Every structure is written in structure tokens, then in C-alpha cells.
Structure 1
């Protein structure tokens, strides 16, 4: 028996170089460029053309690219198309960069003008996955069926949702492939139970190609309440079908509380996972239809609002750098904006007569505080927006002013 493998060296790199989603994006971008070449009646092969020929092609392409409805693409789509074409060329041994090389300056000037044009057309906003609002979170957890752990479907819904939330997973990345033995229920030195993930995965930001350190991921701790995520996770494993090692299985059509198994030996597929949060949004009659990735956004946003620093959040989110988190924490909540407006109104209309500032320490970290602003004794405290300030008091201790943490605690049952 041969010690070494028999893989084709000419295709090995291409087959293992990128994720499936990246491959789909690349295919889409190259097809758009190919359609443009055909419609223009050009005879050019970008894998054989010279650098100058490709630069002239892209200069024309960026000025005239449109979708099938003859409208401008959105900004994030255009950015993805340019990056994907660049990737495609490099994957095929065209070792130059269409974004940074000086030969492509005129083409990229057109691309910049294109982005400005899309902004004028109202398509210049990069689409972000919105975090689930606190009110919608409350509706999910208070709905009589959606997260009802006395039913197989409710128990499954809660387990999937909290696996994404607490481990800050991307929308559908590897979710359908998760296995039971990749998770462990354990206790810390104080005897508090928690769930942690034992294995690493091939993800968007971690392809296993560098030696850069990775965080060990999030941990889901028991809260001792009826909504405890560990309690429901343990119950789900207890009712799991032992004939399958896949974590998420389809519920049985009929059941009783006394049954040992509530789930069929039928793993949930990618298509079902894909519409998971969309279906939950409809079932719970939420204010909008959320996507799976919105759960990840919720994790990052709640941690940010609660005063955790970006360098700590990225250890569970899997981001390579802190700057990447800005796309999730790029705005303040509507409640915070209302608080800002109220504060300005009180100053503008002269109602700000007797003021005081007070800080209440919360249990997240010794360095974190929740600050509120009170205009007079008869009014309710106004939570200040999420900003970092240097205290003007004598000890000049750093404070982080955050959204009302008690509201988050009430939803997840952590008080």
C-alpha cells in the first residue's frame, strides 16, 4: 500500500483553495464579465490577454455594468464582483492585482465613479444583517409554541437558535453538518454547567492556511432559570436519536413527554436550515423577517451594548481583526437615538434644571458600568448611548456607557 496520496496536483489547489460560497460568487462575477464581452462583440480571453488589454476592458466594464433589469447593481454587489474577478485571475496564475496595480488606475477611477453613481441612485448602501430587536427577542421567548421545550419542534427551535447565538455562528455555515460529539456539557470549578464546542471548522475567516491564533469560541453557561440554554440543550441531547451523530434532526410526527426519543433518524438539510429564522419570524409574528445571520449580528450587538471590548468579542465571533466588527456595531439602537433626542430636547426647551449622573455596576465585568441620566426626581432615568468616555471625576476611571442591560437579562432569564 502506498504511503502517499494519489491526488492530481494540477487541480488540488483549485479544489481546496476556497469555500463553496466564495466559488459561487466568483462564478457569478466572471459570468457577468463574460456576458459583457459577448454583448460588446469582443474577442478577448482574460486568462490570455495582456495586462493592458484587461485594464482597458475593465475601464469599459465598470462604466457600463448593469444587471438584467438594466439597472445599477447595489454597492456591495459591485464590490464583490471586482474582488471576485481579481480572485479568479490569481487562481488562474495571472499574478497581478486589478485593485492596486497602477496599470488599472483609470479602470478603478471609473469604478469609484460607479460607486458614487449608485449612491445617487439610492443603491449605495452596503446591506448589513440587522440584529434582532429586544422586543422581537422577547416575543420569541414568550411565544407559547416557538421555543416551547415541551414539544419536539419548540425544543429543536430553541436549540438551533441558541447554538447560533451563544457560539456566534454564521447564518448557515456548516450548521447542518454539526455533530453531537463536537459539543461537550461540562462544569467549571464552581460547579456551574456549561456547553462548549470541542472541534474547529473550516470557516469563511479560518481556512486553516495560516498559523494565526484562533479563539476557542463561545461557551454557553447555565442560568438556573426556566429559559436556561444549557437546560434545553441537555434535554435536546436526551431526546436525540442515538442512531444519528448529526446534531439537528427532524422531529417525530407524534410524541409523548415520556418517550426516550423525540426525533427521527433524519438530519435536517441545508435548505431547511437556510429558512430557519425566516420561518421563526413568521411563526412568532415578529416585526420583520430576520435571517439566520441576524442571530449572529444579535450576539455581537448585545455584547457590544453590554460593554465588552472588540478584542474579546472577536474571540467568539471568529473575526480576524477588530475592525471587522464595525459592520455589526456601526449604529446605535433606536432606543439610544430616542434617548439622545430626549437629552437634546431637555436642553433645548429649558427643562434641564436639576440634573445628576449616576453609575450602576453590572456583573459582566469589573471594568464595565451602566450609566443613566436623570433630569429630575420625578422622571425615569434615560440610558445614555453607547460611547466611551474618560470620566472627569478624581479617579478618572474608564467607563463604558451602555444600553439597559436589565432588559437583556429579563429576556434570557439571567437575573
Structure 2
């Protein structure tokens, strides 16, 4: 047995203590890293997380069908590029139907996002190594569009003025009852504040909307916007101004008065700043307590527009986004500059506003009527064969007074009696006209 000196024993103990301390620090570091990663994951948009998981599962199941069991992150770029190319070309839904063109593109983005989250250095959307799979994706999307897919059949339809009137007349909007008032407040928030997703409405708190007055005493509501899908608050990408809705005195549909009425019908316990803005309806109430001290269900809130339109018999694809779309298309069609519309809606780019610049139903009808009127008038001016012959005689009579006039009867005789360009009121054509020199008028054959 080796005998240690006191100094060696002390040095050994210090070494063990240092090692134990280092191990403890390493454990803390690992724990901190895990907790920070968990924190980052918790702040991701839940809808994006679900979408990413579902899309990655599609490619993973497809890889398994090709006897490829490696993790997608472990597949070398050249092989992964080849797999992706075949996936985009052949992948279908579980029922055998083709994907929509934009769905395939979103799957590509989900796979790329998943790889980045896993620490992979490849980028299938930009890297040169994945050009072939991108070319295949472009070709597949082109083929699907040629087959009639991707025509945006699920695009939300905005409300027309007539449809709004129907909803008010049938008490699905207005202040006649709790449901109508709740529907009205929801539509006003979506239209005047530019709110869009169900999540934004679910996260809306009572204190986020504040009733204020201008220096002249005009009342208005102002939204203190929380982080949204588009404006996360990370890069300071806030709106140019806080969204507002101003009162319209004397108008029974005044948005500010609808808000005040909604406030009066709420329980006092639901007027705190952190109380949910949308709350459930008190189905047992016979007095002023129209609502209960509970938040509105997510599914109910998510289908609020669809439900009331179906009950009212409103046609078209009316969903919650229809309210926001109504606001933006109304401003665009009214000639409001796109930059101001963008500031109101909160879009990051002007290009997004162009998606709302399509002609409204009334505008499409006006264009159709204009074209119908144009062709109807054109047909009215053709005239009968007899009228055509009479017009030729009138032309001859008028031109006889012009010196050096030659009339080519052969051409006139060969002209179709149903010519699309007759000669009505030809005398007026040369009234007050001064013609000098030799003049030849040629009539082209029909």
C-alpha cells in the first residue's frame, strides 16, 4: 500500500472537489440548455408546430414505403434531393387524390423548417444541391394547375352590402339580442381593427380595447395590439398607428355604441383588463345580464361568421376571414391608397394588398352590363339591307357635289348587305366640311 503525504492527500481532495464542481456546473448547463430550448419551443406558433409535424410525418411515411428508415436529418444532401424529387412527383393524399399545388409547396417549407430546428445546415429551398427537387416541384405544381387544381375554391368571400342588410334585418347583427350583439362586436373588431386569425380574437382581452375621446369630444375605440402571427414583436414590426374605430352619432349601427352596449350587458367581474373579450351567452337570463363570466368556446368563436350566415341563408363561402376581407376590399375599391390600406390591415408588404384588389361582384356585374350594352348598340346600328342601300344613295347624293368625284358601283354591288359599318346620317357627316383637290373614297370588301 502506497503511503501518501498529507500534502498529496489535500491536493487529491481539492482535485475531487474541483471535479465535482465541474460536474455540477455541467449538469446545470445541460439543464439550462434544455429549459431554454423548451422555452423557445413553447413560444412557437402552435398552428405552425402542428403543420410542421403533420407535413414531416407525410415525407417520413413515404420514405418508409421506399424502405428508407434513416432519420431525414441523417440522409446525405444528394440522396435527400433525389428522394424529395420523387416525393413531389408521386405523393398523394391517403385517399389517392392529388395534393393542391400550394399544399406541396407548404410541405417543402415544413420539411425545411424541421431540418433547421434539428440543427441541420442544409436548406432545401435555397441550396444548389436541391435544385432538381425544386424543379420537379415547380413542374408538378404547373401540371396540377393545368388540371384545374389550385383555383382557390376555399377563398373567403367578402360581404356585400345587401348581405349585411339581410343579417341586420333578420337580427343576426345589431343589438336585438345577445348573439346578434356579440356577432356585431366581432365583425366590427375584425373590420375596423384589421384582426384576422381566430387566435388573435381568442387572445383579445377586455383591456386591449380602450374607449377614448378626441379633443373635440368625438368618441373612438383604440386597440392596444398584442403579438400576432405577422407582428411577433421580435423585430419591432408594429403598425404605423394603433387601429381605431370612431363613433357615428345618430347611427343605430354605430360601432362605438355597439361596444358600449356590449359593456353594459357584461358581468362586472368580466370588466377587468385581463378578462377575455369574448364571453359566453347567458341562456337563462331574462334581464340585463346577457353574458356569463366564462370565455366563449374556441370552436364557437372560430365558426361565428359561418354559423350566422348559414342560419340567415347567406350564400357563398362566408367564414371569419370574410369580415377582414370585406374591410380591405371596401377600402381598395373606394380608392384608398394601398399604403394606407396596408397600415390599417397590418400587412407586411403592399403585394399582399393586391390579393384584395380583385373586382367585387357588383363591379363584375357592371363590366358585364357594359359589354352587353356595347354589343347591343353595335347590333342596333347595323340596320336592314334596305337601310344600307338607302345610306349608299345618300352618300352618292352628297358626294355628287364634290368636284372630281368618282363612284365605284362595282365595289358597292359586291359589298355585303349585312355590313357591320353602315352609313347613317351621311349628310351630317360632310356638313360644314371643306374638301380640296382630288378625293377618292374606297370601300373595302366584306
When normalised by structure 2's length, the TM-score is 0.72
* Cα distance per residue 1:254-285 (max 9 Å; x no partner): 3345x3x3211111021111111111112221
Q: Distance in 2 between matches of 1:125 and 1:289?
A: 14
Cα gap change, 1:193/1:352 in structure 2, threshold over 3 Å: closer, same or farther? farther
Distance in structure 2 (CA, Å) of the matches to 1:223 and 1:11: 48
Shift of 1:31: 0.9
> Could you say if the C-alpha distance between residues 36 and 207 of structure 1 is closer, same or farther in structure 2, counting changes exceeding 3 Å?
same
Runs of 4+ in 1 over 3 A off after TM superposition: 254-257, 345-353
Q: 1:289 to 1:124 in 2, by over 3 A?
A: closer
Give 1:297 deviation, angstroms: 1.0
2:44 is the alignment partner of 1:14: no
For the pair 1:255 / 2:285, whether they are aligned, the reply is yes
Question: How far apart, CA to CA, are the structure 2 residues paired with 1:154 and 1:12?
Answer: 40
Contact 1:300/1:317 (<8 A) preserved: yes
CA distance in 1, matches of 2:366, 2:298: 42
Q: Are 1:138 and 2:175 matched, yes or no?
A: no
| Structure number with larger C-alpha Rg | 2
Cross-structure match for 1:218: 243
Q: Which has the higher strand share?
A: 1
Deviation at 1:322, TM superposition (A): 0.7
Residue matched to 2:295:
267
Q: Map 1:295-334 onto structure 2 (within 5 A).
A: 295-329=323-357, 331-334=358-361
Does the CA contact (< 8 Å) of 2:231 and 2:238 recur in 1? no
Contact 2:157 2:317 in 1 (8 A): no
Measure, in 1, the Cα distance between the counterparts of 2:133 and 2:182.
Answer: 51
Which one of the candidate residues 298, 313, 318 is aligned to 1:290?
Answer: 318
Q: 1:349 to 1:146 in 2, by over 3 A?
A: closer
The CA distance in 1 between the partners of 2:113 and 2:155, in whole Å, is 23
- Name the stretch that deviates more: 59-68 or 203-212: 203-212
Cα distance in 1 for partners of 2:236, 2:298 equals 30
Q: Distance in 2 between matches of 1:170 and 1:152?
A: 23
Structure 1 pair 10–338 and aligned structure 2 pair: CA distance change class (3 A): closer
With the length of structure 1 as denominator, give the TM-score of the two structures.
0.78
CA RMSD of aligned residues (A): 2.1
Q: Report the CA distance shift for 1:256/1:34 in structure 2 as closer, same or farther (over 3 A).
A: same
Gaps of 5+ in 1: 354-415
Q: Which structure's residues are more often helix, by fraction? A: 2
- Is the alpha carbon distance of 1:238 and 1:102 closer, same or farther for their aligned partners in structure 2, counting shifts above 3 Å? same
Structure 2: runs of 5 or more not aligned: 1-30, 381-446
Alignment partner of 1:205 is 2:230: yes
Q: Which secondary structure does the structure 1 equivalent of 2:292 belong to? A: strand
Q: How many residues align?
A: 343
Matched, 1:113 2:139: yes
Contact 1:59-1:110 at 8 Å conserved across structures = yes
Q: Given that residues 241 and 263 in structure 1 are in contact (C-alpha distance below 8 angstroms), is that contact kept between their aligned partners in structure 2?
A: yes
